Amino acid sequence: MNKKFSLGLIILITVIVLSFSFNAIAQKNKDMFRFDPNAPKLGDAMEEVLKKRILNEKETLSTLKDIKGLLKEIRNTLNIIQNDLPKKNQELE
């Protein structure tokens, strides 16, 4: 009987301490979840972020396409030089 009583008392004290702890945390975070009608909507903010991200990705994609075009031009120029090199060597000899 004495062990059951002490175990029940420990459980009761633990529950009380935890409830006070959770209550303190809730009071601390209460301001964080307070509704502000003038605050921007979360969906609007996320939409703006997504628009900016899409715009940046489009700019990056166009830059990569420009770089790809330049690399093709360089490759073509190198191929022309490589093909003309034996002719130039024969002319020099």
Cβ burial, residue 10 (10 Å; 0-12/13-18/19+) = exposed
The pLDDT assigned to 35 comes to 62
Min mean pLDDT across 15-24, 29-38, 44-53, 79-88 is at 29-38
Domain shared by 52 and 90, yes or no: yes
Give residue 70's pLDDT. Answer: 92
Q: Are residues 24 and 52 in the same domain?
A: no
Task: Judge if 52 and 28 occupy the same domain.
Answer: no
Are 47 and 90 within one domain? Answer: yes
Overall number of domains in the chain: 2
Q: Is the pLDDT of residue 23 over 70?
A: yes
Identify the band that residue 71 occupies on the pLDDT scale cut at 50, 70 and 90: very high
Q: Which domain holds residue 28?
A: 1-34
Euclidean distance between CA atoms 8 and 80, whole angstroms: 91
Global pTM exceeds 0.75: no
Amino acid identity for residue 81 in this structure: I
pLDDT digits (tens, 9 = 90+) for 31-54: 666 666 666 666 777 888 888 888
Token digits for 32? 């964080």
- Which of 13-22, 24-33, 53-62, 66-75 has the weakest average pLDDT? 24-33
| The 3-state secondary structure of the chain, one letter per residue | CHHHHHHHHHHHHHHHHHHHHHHHHHHHCCHHHCCCCCCCCHHHHHHHHHHHHHHHHHHHHHHHHHHHHHHHHHHHHHHHHHHHHHHHHHHHC
Given a cut of 80, whether residue 19 has pLDDT beyond it is: yes
